[in-house]
C-alpha cells in the first residue's frame, strides 16, 4: 500500500498502542479476539483512534460523513424528528455526533419549523470530537453531553454511522466447522490465528448467519455482538417510553450480508481519505469499520421491547422526508448557490454513491412514521 506517512508524534502514539495491544495478546496466551483488538485500536484511552487527539472528519481527517456534505441532510432528519416529537416529547439523543454539524442542522431546522427542543443530549466517546461539538453548538443551550445511556427517554434518538464503528468478532468456516479469527503476534507483527469458538459465539453464528452450515470452507465474516448489545439497550430504553431511534449506516439485511459470494467479509479501514483492508496498519491512526447486519440490529431491538417501525435505503428515506423540497429553497437560477447543494444531494441519493448502500433502520414504541416514509418501507426484507 502507498499511504501518507504519519507525523513523528502520530507514529510514536501508534507504536505505544501497538505495544499495549501486544502485551494484551501475551496476557491472553497469544490469542486475542479481533473484537478486543478493534476496541483497543479505536477506543484505548488517549491512544485509540476515537479517543486520541487527531482530526477524524472533513478534509483534514480520514473520511467525510453525510452531515458534512450538506445541511439539507440534517434538515430532512429534522422533518422526521418533528413528527416523532409531536407524538412523544421534545427531546433528542444523539450517539456519536461527529463534529456537531448534524445536531446544529437539526436544531436549526426545528427552530425554523417552530418546534421547541427542551433537551438535546449527546453521547460521545471521542474527546477531540466532543470539544469540536461544544464549539459548534455553543449557541444552543439545550445541548448537554452524557457519558452513557440515560435511565429513561422519550423523544428522538439519532445515530449516523455509529453501528459500523463498533467492535466485531471475525469468524471463518473451516473443514472442522466455524472458528474464530483471533489476533496474535508473529515475528514482531500482528497476524491472525484460528481459535475455537466460545459458546456465545457459537450461538451468534447459529442466530445471525443464515445457512451457516452450507457456506463454503474459507468463508470469512463478522459477528456484531457489541452492536447487538447496543441495540438491545436502545430497544429497552425506547420500549419503556414513547419515541423512535433513526439509525443510518452502510450495510445489508442478513441474507445479503452473509451471501456466499461475500466470502471475505466487509471489514474496511480509512486513513486520510484512503480506504484499505488492513486493520493492522498503524493502529490508533486509522478508522476500522464493518458493514452493519441490519437484521441482527432489528432483532436485538425487537427482543428488548421496541418495534421495528421501518427499514429502507437512505435515498428513499431522504426523499420521503422531503429533501427535494428543501433543495428547492435555493433558486436553481442562482447556479453559484444551487449547484453545490444539488451536487451534495446527488451524492446522498445516488445509488452509485450513498443512496443505496446506506440504509435507515427506525425502531421505537408508541409512535408512527408519516405515510410518505412508510411508502418506501422494506422491513419485510430484513
CB 291 within 8 A of CB 250: yes
pLDDT in tens, the chain (382 residues): 677 888 899 899 999 999 999 999 999 999 999 999 999 999 999 899 988 765 554 455 556 789 999 999 999 999 999 999 999 999 999 999 989 999 999 999 999 999 999 999 999 988 878 988 999 999 999 999 999 999 999 999 999 999 999 999 999 999 999 999 999 999 999 999 999 999 999 999 999 999 999 999 999 999 999 999 999 999 999 999 999 999 999 999 999 999 999 999 999 999 987 899 999 999 999 999 999 999 999 999 999 999 999 999 999 999 999 999 999 999 999 999 999 999 999 999 999 999 999 999 999 999 999 999 999 999 999 9
Q: What is the pLDDT of residue 63?
A: 60
Query: In the prediction, which pLDDT does 1 show?
Result: 61
In the numeric block, the cell 452524557 is attached to 146
Q: What is the pLDDT of residue 172?
A: 98
Q: Identify the CATH assignment for 66-163+226-250+296-381 out of 3.40.50.261, 3.40.640.10, 3.40.50.12710, 3.30.70.100.
A: 3.40.50.12710
Widest pairwise Cα distance in the chain: 67
Q: According to the model, what pLDDT value does residue 55 have?
A: 53
Q: How far apart are CA 369 and CA 352, in angstroms?
A: 27
Neighbouring-strand partners of residue 179: 172
Per-residue DSSP letter, 369:
-
Q: Which residues of 24-61 are buried (b: 16+ CB within 10 A; e: fewer)?
A: ebeeeeeebbbbbbbbbbbbbeebbbbbbebebbbeeb
Contacts of 158 by beta carbon, 8 Å cutoff, 6+ apart: 77, 81, 92, 93, 94, 95, 102, 106, 245, 246
Q: Where are the beta strands (DSSP E) in 202-341?
A: 220-223, 243-252, 268-271, 274-276, 287-289, 292-293, 307-313
In DSSP notation, 319-344 reads: HHTTHHHHHTTS-TT-HHHHHHHHHH
Partners of 332 in the beta sheet? none
CA distances from 146 to 64, 67, 97, 171 (A): 24, 21, 12, 34
Rounded to an integer, what distance in angstroms lies between the CA atom of residue 207 and that of residue 223?
A: 10
- Could you tell me which residues come within 8 angstroms of residue 69 by beta carbon, excluding any fewer than 6 positions away? 344, 347, 348
What pLDDT digit, counting tens, does each position of 87-128 carry? 999 999 999 998 999 999 999 999 999 999 999 999 998 887
Over 16-36, what HEC string results?
A: HHHHHHHHHHHHCCCCEEHHH
User: What pLDDT is stored for residue 5 in this prediction?
Assistant: 85
Sequence-ordered list of residues with C-beta below 8 angstroms from that of 178, at least 6 positions apart, any chain: 171, 172, 197, 202, 205, 212
Please tell me the distance from the alpha carbon of residue 310 to that of residue 301, in angstroms, as a whole number.
13
* Helix 199-208 × helix 225-239 angle, to 10°: 70
**SS3 of 192, please?**
strand
The pLDDT value recorded for residue 13 is 93
**Where does residue 108 rank: exposed (0-12), middle (13-18), buried (19+ CB within 10 A)?**
middle
Choose among 258, 246, 248: nearest CA to 207: 258
Element (H, E) at 83: helix 71-87
Whole-model pTM: value is 0.95
Beta-carbon contacts of 100 under 8 Å, excluding residues fewer than 6 positions away, are 122, 132, 133, 134, 135, 136, 137
Beta carbons within 10 angstroms of residue 233's beta carbon: 15
Report residue 312 as a C-alpha cell: 429502507
Amino acid at each position: 500500500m502507498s499511504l501518507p506517512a504519519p507525523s513523528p508524534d502520530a507514529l510514536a502514539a501508534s507504536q505505544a498502542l501497538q505495544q499495549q495491544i501486544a502485551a494484551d495478546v501475551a496476557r491472553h496466551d497469544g490469542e486475542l479476539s479481533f473484537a478486543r483488538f478493534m476496541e483497543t485500536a479505536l477506543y484505548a484511552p488517549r491512544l485509540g483512534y476515537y479517543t486520541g487527539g487527531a482530526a477524524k472528519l472533513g478534509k483534514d481527517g480520514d473520511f467525510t460523513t453525510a452531515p458534512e456534505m450538506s445541511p439539507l441532510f440534517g434538515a430532512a432528519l429534522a422533518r422526521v424528528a418533528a413528527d416523532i416529537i409531536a407524538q412523544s416529547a421534545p427531546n433528542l439523543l444523539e450517539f456519536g455526533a461527529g463534529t456537531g454539524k448534524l445536531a446544529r442542522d437539526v436544531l436549526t431546522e426545528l427552530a425554523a419549523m417552530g418546534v421547541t427542543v427542551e433537551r438535546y443530549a449527546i453521547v460521545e466517546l471521542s474527546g477531540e470530537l466532543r470539544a469540536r461539538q461544544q464549539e459548534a453548538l455553543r449557541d444552543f443551550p439545550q445541548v448537554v453531553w452524557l457519558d452513557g445511556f440515560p435511565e429513561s427517554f422519550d423523544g428522538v434518538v439519532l445515530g449516523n454511522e455509529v453501528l459500523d464503528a463498533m467492535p466485531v468478532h471475525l469468524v471463518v468456516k473451516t473443514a472442522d466447522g466455524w472458528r474464530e479469527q483471533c489476533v496474535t503476534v508473529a515475528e514482531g507483527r500482528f497476524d491472525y490465528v484460528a481459535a475455537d469458538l466460545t459458546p456465545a459465539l457459537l450461538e451468534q453464528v447459529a442466530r445471525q448467519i443464515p445457512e451457516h452450515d452450507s457456506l463454503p470452507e474459507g468463508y470469512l465474516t463478522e459477528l456484531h455482538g457489541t452492536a447487538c448489545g447496543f441495540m438491545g439497550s436502545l430497544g429497552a430504553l425506547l420500549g419503556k417510553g414513547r419515541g423512535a431511534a433513526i439509525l443510518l449506516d452502510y450495510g445489508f439485511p442478513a441474507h445479503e450480508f452473509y451471501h456466499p459470494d461475500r466470502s471475505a467479509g466487509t471489514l474496511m479501514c480509512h486513513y486520510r481519505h484512503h480506504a484499505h483492508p488492513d486493520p493492522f496498519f498503524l493502529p490508533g491512526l486509522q478508522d476500522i469499520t464493518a458493514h452493519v447486519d441490519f437484521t441482527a440490529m432489528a432483532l436485538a431491538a425487537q427482543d428488548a421491547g421496541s418495534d421495528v417501525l421501518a427499514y429502507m435505503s437512505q435515498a428513499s428515506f431522504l426523499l420521503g422526508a422531503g429533501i427535494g423540497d428543501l433543495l428547492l429553497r435555493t433558486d436553481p437560477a442562482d447556479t453559484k448557490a444551487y449547484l453545490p447543494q444539488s451536487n451534495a444531494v446527488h451524492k446522498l441519493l445516488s445509488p452509485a454513491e450513498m443512496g443505496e448502500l446506506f440504509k435507515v433502520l427506525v425502531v421505537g414504541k408508541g409512535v408512527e412514521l408519516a405515510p410518505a416514509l412508510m411508502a418506501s418501507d422494506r422491513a419485510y426484507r430484513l
